[in-house]
Amino acid sequence: MRAVSPGRVGARLDPGRAAAALLLVALAVFPLLARGDTYHQNVLFSAFLLAVEALGWNIVSGFAGYVSLGQSAFLGVGAYTAGLLAIHLGVSPLLLAPLGGVAAALLALVVGSVVMRARGHAFVIITIALVLILQVTGLNLTSITGGSNGVTLPIPGWDPALGNLPFYYAMFALMVLSLGLCAWVRRTKFGTGLLAIRADENKAAAIGIRTNVYKTLAFIASGALVGVAGGVYAYFLTFIDPRGMFDILVSVSILLAAMIGGRGTVWGPLIGAFIVQILTEATNVWANGSQARLILFGGLLMATVLFVPQGLLPAAARLLERRRTRGRAVEATSHAVVTRPIEVSRIVRTIDTDDGEDLLVGKGLTKRFGRLVAVDRCDVTVRQGTITGLIGPNGSGKTTLFNLLTGMLVADEGTVHLAGTRIDGLPPWRRAHLGLGRTWQTTRLFDDMTVLDNVVAPLSRFRWRTLAASAVAGHEAERARELLAFVGMADLAGVRAGHLSFGQRKLVELAQVLMTQPRLILLDEPAGGVNPALVERIAGLVRSLNERGVTFLIVEHNMPLVLELCDPVVVLASGRTIAAGTPETIQRDPVVLDAYLGEDPSTMHDEAPV
């Protein structure tokens, strides 16, 4: 046997991981060491249950940001499914508990595919309604659920000497499974997609993430293990009733546990569950019962929101990070772009173009905001291989037109075709998959993710197995690094996007959109608010991409840049196309000059972005 040098072992031992492993081992052996201590076993059992629930909640509400107060619905459905089947089949509910998970997953699928369309407060309220509806239904379906009298389940059939040990280990195993699920989701493309949805759902859709599938899957994942836990819990209680099972207060304690520990982290919900469960137990022992518990929950929730809104774990992590990087964060915010761009041929395959054919055609596009007509029967055509400019006074509808073309907004009238395929009516992610990319006037990056994570997040098509793929690995990660090198941002790959300067963000967003391998890129004011050196750099990138066959439609106020880069130029005023032609003809067109209120358009550059 070869001896391992102690130094190497020490170097690989991460203190956080070691503590976590130690905790799990201690919990696994506890009942063996403290045999017969049923009280503490039962307290831990309840903590495990809350941890399973909070970890499940974490997937849909922590990662994807859709706050659910309906998690007790999954617990109840799991409990009733396993419990009632056990009575009718005469099998132990412990063996039927997985069916509780299946029932909860089905409920999540049915409810989720409808409800996940609602965002923000609407979603929260609908999930509360779900619990209340199930409770009322349970109370009224007396023949099945026993109504308010509940249902009594058979006493466990195992050797009484075992006590509650089988329950303890079943719930412990579920907790470890939930923890593993959270950790796994976090590492996959699925998890990155969920984080992107939480940060900016429209942006996520625009870079090709099929948001509706992601959200529904997250809801299913959040409910399934809770459903299994419900089956185990039912047998543990040997009595289930609709009020106890579909209890909104349980949903609140789940949310509380995850919030305290740190939603969106892997270990946070578990830590929070233990804190909440132990405090609940303490109030049960020292104060009497449910009134004190309500005050405790309310107080804890308030304290969390006020003092550690991110939760304990992220707060601690941030404190450590600040200590480690003190004084060093500045380099990331410097305006200098660090590296020289690499050759474009390395990152964009040449697109076979039939130059001059119509690539994007918008016809009769109209968008009204109340009585304001932002885009008014607008026609726009972008021919393949061109760098088409789109100019017009502020408020003339340029950004709104971009939103109609990319699917961020639905047009009231009009059609959009991309390479002959009709795309109005398609969701943004479908349009991205067809080769339509865009950037934003004020960049929209996922600020909490690193630059590299931002660039690997886009997907150029949807495949089920991609969901389970590693988020940052393989040739995609390599391509992302090359794209970052191409825009000159390779050195900042590991920096959090929120730390970048405005100009650096523009470059990263360009690398991000290139990841979907677009045929046509819409750039919304790429030079707005950017220093002159960087403007040159961006213009150079656009030109070299264009030489490789990428077509551009560019909104820009910097007239010298437009005149130098774009041909043809389309002019928008009050939502309508008033002129289109070569830069020279546009410059002299009296209609165009008139639209700018007699101003010389070349004086318009460096206008503040709106």
Which residues of the chain form contacts with Mg ion (CB under 5 A)?
399, 441
Is residue 518 a contact point for ligand ADP (CB under 6 A)?
no
Q: Decide if residue 278 touches ligand ADP (CB under 6 A).
A: no
Q: Does 58 bind ligand ADP (CB under 6 A)?
A: no
398 near ligand ADP (CB under 6 A): yes
Amino acid at 102: V
Q: Which does 394 bind (CB under 5 to 8 A by kind): Mg ion, ligand ADP, none?
A: ligand ADP
Number of residues that make up the chain: 610
Stretch that binds ligand ADP, among 50-58, 297-305, 398-406, 480-488 (CB under 6 A): 398-406
| Residue 397 in the binding site for ligand ADP (CB under 6 A) | yes
Q: How far is the CB of 492 from Mg ion (least distance, A)?
A: 27
Candidate segments 259-267, 393-401, 509-517, 545-553, binder of ligand ADP by CB under 6 A:
393-401
Smallest gap from Cβ 442 to ligand ADP, in A, equals 11
Q: Which residue shows structure tokens 């609140």?
A: 252
For the bound state, the minimum distance from the C-beta of residue 414 to Mg ion, rounded and expressed in Å, comes to 19
Q: Name the amino acid, one letter, at 199.
A: A
Report, in angstroms and rounded to the nearest whole number, the Rg of the chain calculated over CA atoms.
29
Pairing mode of beta strands 372-383, 387-391: unpaired
Tell me the window of 249-257, 389-397, 507-515, 583-591 that interacts with ligand ADP (CB under 6 A): 389-397
504 vs 522: CA distance, rounded Å? 18
- The residue among 259 and 521 lying less far from ligand ADP, judged by its C-beta, is 521
374 binds, among ligand ADP, Mg ion, none (CB under 5 to 8 A by kind): ligand ADP
Nearer to ligand ADP, 186 or 557 (CB): 557
Q: Name the residue number minimizing CB distance to Mg ion.
A: 399
Q: x-or-dash pattern for ligand ADP, window 84-123, by CB under 6 A? A: ----------------------------------------
Binding mask 315-354 for ligand ADP (x = CB under 6 A): ----------------------------------------
Closest CA to 62 of 210, 262, 200, 307: 262
Considering Cα of 84, then 86, then 89, then 94, what sign does the dihedral take? positive
Q: Are 223 and 108 in contact (CB under 8 A)?
A: yes
Q: Which is nearer to ligand ADP, 513 or 522 (CB)?
A: 522
Looking at 471-522, list the stretches that DSSP marks H as alpha helix, in order from N- to C-terminal side. 474-486, 502-514
Stretch that binds ligand ADP, among 5-13, 212-220, 232-240, 388-396 (CB under 6 A): 388-396
- The whole-angstrom separation of Cα 256 and Cα 301 is 6
CA distance 603 to 601: 5
558 is an interface residue for ligand ADP by CB under 6 A: no
Cβ atoms within 10 Å of 593's Cβ, excluding its own = 15
Residue 157 corresponds to which tokens in the numbers above?
A: 């059939």
What tokens does 153 get? 């389940």
- Smallest distance from Mg ion to CB 395, Å: 8
Query: Counting contacts by CB under 6 A, is residue 395 touching ligand ADP?
Result: yes
State how far the Cα of 294 lies from the Cα of 288, in Å rounded to an integer: 11
Instruction: Give CA–CA dist 580/567, Å, rounded.
Output: 10
Residues 269 and 257 sit within 8 Å (Cβ to Cβ)? yes
Tokens of 236: 């543990």
Residues binding ligand ADP (CB under 6 A):
369, 372, 374, 392, 394-400, 610
